[in-house]
A and B are shown apart, each in its own frame.
Chain A
Amino acid sequence: ETGVTQSPTHLIKTRGQQVTLRCSSQSGHNTVSWYQQALGQGPQFIFQYYREEENGRGNFPPRFSGLQFPNYSSELNVNALELDDSALYLCASSLWGISYEQYFGPGTRLTVT
């Protein structure tokens, strides 16, 4: 198991609501990436954070936003939830400079009804 933790494990929200997902990085890691994984698909990159700033973003609208804190933990916020936002949300931590060696958490399963 990696040292990356995510909360909550599961979440059910209603369309139009807002959600915040949390991630704690593996000790010593300073970079956090977030991914969305729809059923039967590979994970899709949302964005990456380093030194509390967004460093790279995938093809996701602005209602997907994030934060990284001084202790390198991170949050993913999604506003105005849509049914298609139902997915597994994965957080991965890494070291800046070798960020392709990423260590993933177990994910948060979000269901939007």
Chain B
Amino acid sequence: DAKTTQPPSMDCAEGRAANLPCNHSTISGNEYVYWYRQIHSQGPQYIIHGLKNNETNEMASLIITEDRKSSTLILPHATLRDTAVYYCIVIRGSQGNLIFGKGTKLSVKP
């Protein structure tokens, strides 16, 4: 599975959009990009995933560049409850285990 690179930390003002980048320059054509987050003292939470096209659900939007070498998770209106560590994971196929890196610690501030 391709390696990912994320900034260790980011700040965002409450109510503003939070844009979390992820670099996956060695991604293969059949590898998906998954995003999870972990709020302090809780288990990780699945957010969204995508292959090529941009995806949106009730939690977030995922923008994948045309060359698929990077992606951005967008939380459109960040709240204090969005403060968490966000993990970008690249996975081949649909079955197997998750390999977590260190993620990005997002701090949403009033």
Contact = CB atoms under 8 A, between A and B. Distances in A.
B44 A100 contact: no
Contact of A41 (B45, B46, B102): B102
B95 A101 contact: no
A81 to B, nearest CB: 22
A43 B49 contact: no
Given A42-B102, A104-B43, A98 B97 contact: no
Interface stretch (A11-19, A61-69, A70-78, A89-97): A89-97
B43 A92 contact: yes
Given A41-B102, A42-B87, A104 B97 contact: no
A56 B100 contact: no
Given A42-B87, A96-B95, A101 B100 contact: no
Interface residues of B, number: 23
Given A33-B97, A97-B95, A102 B46 contact: yes
Interface of B: 32, 34, 41-46, 49, 85, 87, 89, 91, 94-103
Interface string A20-51: 00000000000001010000011111001000
B100 A44 contact: yes
Interface magnitude class on chain A: 20 to 34
A56 B43 contact: no
Nearest to A41: B102
Contact of A100 (B45, B85, B98): B98
Contacts of B41: 106
A105 B38 CA distance: 11
Contacts of A104: 42-45
* Interface core residue of A2, A33, A102 (most chain B CB under 10 Å): A102
Contacts of A96: 95
B19 to A, nearest CB: 21
Given A41-B102, A104-B44, A106-B42, A58 B97 contact: yes
